Structure 1
């Protein structure tokens, strides 16, 4: 079976890229699959073929359109094409980035009226919306892989796809690589954290969309709680200034991009991600596998795994008071001896890489039949 997986570029901190890498590493071991990655740029191509497609471009629209046209020219050479980009004509689309219209709607909640008006005129966003609609209505599209029920239901509602064309395959995680044993008090020395302080971790790029401001405000009434912020953002200085304004800067560590995210999980007691829109971030399943309960939003696909007060809490992305209250419940539960770590780990344990690969392989066999 000749299988092509399409992803434009590689970002070592990107959740979609980590999903592709994990899938490729597992699928390449299947002797029945001849796997090719179609990409403009990729860091590691061990164990599979890489077809480099890198047409020149002068702006974002031409970058997306140029890659889509060049990649689609190869689709006929494969039995199955699984695209992680919005390119009409693929056999399978993995909606790892969710629905662009939903992303815009949520992001508009934190933008000024002028910024919303400018965004509505953006050629780039209009192109993505058009490409997305063309892709979902293309006759070659046979299956859409969704990484959460939230995304599945949104696609069905917006584009009228039947249930048999939508399937949910959750992100897999290496449950040995991400494990509660990573949580070591010694890891707290480097960022200067108190050994016994309750520590929340935030992991992700795009601080505005993923809720760093809400996380900072959430710890204000809890003077013993510390916050680790790991990730890249060109406006990080704005959030450091906010931490000073709120009077919590001594309890916050901005780590920037980290080489090994496991050190962050190993230093923390819970993960906070008040994101406006995230179909299902890898950081959530990784943190749960490490035994960290999750405080996240209704706009995050991982909310589907949360049992209130047992392995986490779910609030609106902008509900600062709600997160403050949830942190208070978490602290009270810790004081009473509630084993949040065991509940978090049990949530992630079934979602192994082998399970994800088996579900993908079953999908491919179904399509070939």
Structure 2
């Protein structure tokens, strides 16, 4: 079976890229599948073929259009093409980034009326919306892999796809690599955090989209709660200033990009991600596998794994009082001895990389049969 997987570029901190890397590493072991990665740039090509496509571009719209056209020209050379980009003509599309229209709707909640008006004229956004429409209605499309029921239901509603074209395959995680024993990698001593202090972790880039401001405001009334913020954002100084304004800067650590995210999980007691829109972040399943309960939003696909008060809490992305209340409930549960770590770990345990790979392999063989 000749399978092509399409992803434009590699960002070691990107959720979609980590999914692709994990899938490639597992699928490369299957001698019945000849895997080729079609990409503009990728760091590690061990174990599979790589077809590099790098047409020149002058702006982000031209970047997307040029790569899409160049990649699509090779689709005929493969039995199956699984695209992680919005390229009409692929046989499989993995909707790891969700639905662009849904993202714009959520992002508009925090934009000024003038910014929303200007964004409506963006050629880039109009191109992505058009490409998405063409892709979901293309005759070659046979299956859409969704990483959450939230995304599956949204695609069905917006584009009228039938149930047989939509399947949910959750992100897999290395449950041995991400394990509660990450406690042994704790950075608390280096960071000056007391061993018994309750610590929340935030992991991800895009601080505005993923709710760092909400997280900072959420810990304000809880004087003993610390917050670790791991990830790159060009506006990080703005959020550091907000932490100072809120009077929480002495309990907040901006770590920047980290080489081993397990050190962050090992230093924390829970993960907070009040994201406006996230189909299913890898950080959620990683944190759960490490025994961290999850405080997230109903715009996050991982919310469908959460049982309120057992392995996490779900609130609207902008509901600051709601997150403050959730943190209070978490602290009260810790005081009572609730074993959040065991519940979190049990949630993630079924979603191994092998389980994910088996589901993908079954899907490929089903389509070829």
Q: Which of the five TM-score ranges fits, normalised by the shorter chain?
A: over 0.9
Matches of 1:48 and 1:118, distance apart in 2:
43
Matches of 1:338 and 1:196, distance apart in 2:
16
The question of 1:125 aligning with 2:95 is answered: no
**Alpha-carbon contact 2:98-2:278 (below 8 Å) kept:** yes
Matches of 1:185 and 1:323, distance apart in 2:
28
Coordinate RMSD, CA, aligned: 0.6
Partner in structure 1 of residue 63 of structure 2: 63
Helix, strand or coil at the partner of 1:96: coil
Matches of 1:178 and 1:128, distance apart in 2:
35
Q: Structure 1 length normalisation: TM-score? A: 0.99
Residue 114 of structure 1 deviates from its aligned partner by 1.1
Partner in structure 1 of residue 318 of structure 2: 318
Task: List alignment gaps of at least 5 residues for structure 2.
Answer: none
**Alpha-carbon contact 2:275-2:300 (below 8 Å) kept:** yes
Partner in structure 1 of residue 343 of structure 2: 343
**Alpha-carbon contact 1:185-1:195 (below 8 Å) kept:** no
The question of 1:95 aligning with 2:95 is answered: yes
Matches of 2:33 and 2:184, distance apart in 1:
40
Partner in structure 2 of residue 226 of structure 1: 226
Q: Structure 2 length normalisation: TM-score? A: 0.99
**Alpha-carbon contact 1:310-1:343 (below 8 Å) kept:** yes
Matches of 1:233 and 1:186, distance apart in 2:
23
Residue 190 of structure 1 deviates from its aligned partner by 2.0
Partner in structure 1 of residue 366 of structure 2: 366
| Mapping for residues 76-91 of structure 1, pairs under 5 Å | 76-91=76-91
Residue 185 of structure 1 deviates from its aligned partner by 7.7
Helix, strand or coil at the partner of 2:36: strand
**Alpha-carbon contact 2:7-2:84 (below 8 Å) kept:** yes
Matches of 1:359 and 1:15, distance apart in 2:
19
The question of 1:15 aligning with 2:15 is answered: yes
* Change in 2 beyond 3 A, CA 1:183/1:88: same
Matches of 2:9 and 2:186, distance apart in 1:
36
Partner in structure 1 of residue 140 of structure 2: 140
**Alpha-carbon contact 2:185-2:263 (below 8 Å) kept:** no
Partner in structure 2 of residue 202 of structure 1: 202
Partner in structure 1 of residue 187 of structure 2: 187
Deviations 1:30-68 (A, max 9, x none): 000000000000010100000000000000110000000
Residue 194 of structure 1 deviates from its aligned partner by 1.5
| Mapping for residues 278-297 of structure 1, pairs under 5 Å | 278-297=278-297
Deviations 1:184-239 (A, max 9, x none): 38521122211110000000000000000000000011000000000111100110
Helix, strand or coil at the partner of 1:200: strand
Partner in structure 2 of residue 258 of structure 1: 258
Partner in structure 1 of residue 249 of structure 2: 249
* Change in 2 beyond 3 A, CA 1:318/1:136: same
**Alpha-carbon contact 1:199-1:270 (below 8 Å) kept:** yes
**Alpha-carbon contact 1:23-1:357 (below 8 Å) kept:** yes
Matches of 1:122 and 1:368, distance apart in 2:
40
The question of 1:156 aligning with 2:160 is answered: no
Partner in structure 2 of residue 329 of structure 1: 329
**Alpha-carbon contact 1:149-1:301 (below 8 Å) kept:** yes
Matches of 1:47 and 1:225, distance apart in 2:
44
Matches of 2:17 and 2:118, distance apart in 1:
29
Task: List alignment gaps of at least 5 residues for structure 1.
Answer: none
Matches of 1:96 and 1:69, distance apart in 2:
21
**Alpha-carbon contact 2:186-2:266 (below 8 Å) kept:** no
Deviations 1:154-189 (A, max 9, x none): 000000000000000000000000000001385211
Partner in structure 1 of residue 356 of structure 2: 356
